[in-house]
Structure 1
Amino acid sequence: MIPANSIKQHTTLRDSNGNYRIYFVYEEGNGFNFECWDCRDGSSNCSRKVGEANLSQQEAIQTYEDHLKSWESN
Structure 2
Amino acid sequence: MKSNESSQQGRAALRAVDAGIVARMSATLEGQTDETLMPQFGISYNTWRKVRAGQPIRRSVADRLEQRVHQASR
> Scaled by the length of structure 2, what TM-score is found?
0.34
More helix by share: 2
More strand by share: 1
**Higher alpha-carbon Rg:** 2
> Scaled by the length of structure 1, what TM-score is found?
0.34
Taking CA–CA contacts closer than 8 Å with sequence separation of 6 or more, which of the two structures ends up with the larger relative contact order?
Answer: 2
